[in-house]
Amino acid sequence: DQLIQDCDVVYLLTDTRESRWLPTVMAAAYNKMMINAALGLDSWLVMRHGGDTRINSSLGCYFCNDVVAPENSTRNRTLDQQCTVTRPGLAPVAGSMAVELMVSLLHHSEQHNAPAPRNSTTFSPIVTDATASPLGLMPHQIRGSLVSYTMMNPTVPAFSCCTGCSSSILNAYENNNVDFMCQAAYSVSGTYLEDISGLTAFRAQAERLFDNVDEDWEIDS
C-alpha cells in the first residue's frame, strides 16, 4: 500500500487477470497513473487506467468491461489459454508501447487524467488539442494483433459497477483495506465484490428487462 502511495507510475504486468485486481484498486484509490500491459498468444493490450473515478476520471480500467468479479482464470485451462505462451515478438512491442504511452502522459498537464480521443467510425480516432500531448496521441487502449498486423485505439468509459475502480469499491478499500481484501479473497465465487460494486443488482435489473422484452415479443407474436 505504501509503495503505491509513494510511486509516480504503476506498471501492471502480472500474468493472470485476477492478479491485476488489487493493484488496480490501489492505484485508483490513490489516483496514481497505471499503465497496463497484457499479452495473449498472438495479440496484446496496452492501456492506461483512468484513476480515481470519485474525482473526475471518465476512463475505464482493465475490469470495466466485465460483468463478473475476478476469479481463478487458470482453472481448467491449458497453458496457451492462460496467456502463458506468446509469440516472441509480442513482449518487446507491448513493452515499448507501454513506455511511450507513459512518456506522452507525463508531458500532458493532466497526465493520466487527460481525456482520450473519441471513438470514430473511421480507422483513425478523433483527436483534439485536449486529447494530445506535445508528443502526440494519448490513446486509452492500444490493441494489437500479430495475425493481421494491425492496431486499434478504442476508448472505453468507466463502468459505475466495476469491481476494480467504481466508487463503492474504492470507498470500501479506504474504509478498511485489510478486512476488504480478506473478504474478497475468501469469497471464492466473487459475490462479495459483485454485491459491493453493484454488479449483482445490475445483472438482476438486466434480467428483468430481458424478461419484459420476451413477454412483449410473445404478445406481439
pLDDT tens-digit profile, the chain (221 residues) = 999 999 999 999 988 888 999 999 999 999 999 999 999 889 999 999 988 988 877 899 999 988 888 877 777 777 666 667 788 999 999 999 999 999 999 998 888 888 888 776 555 555 665 667 788 888 999 999 999 999 999 999 999 999 999 999 999 999 999 999 999 988 877 899 999 999 999 988 888 887 776 555 555 55
How many CB atoms are closer than 10 A to CB 181? Answer: 17
- Catalytic residue at 61? no
Give per-residue burial for 115-140: e unless 16+ CB within 10 Å, then b: bbbeeeeeeebebeeebbbeeebbbb
Catalytic position from the list 83, 161, 162, 165 = 83
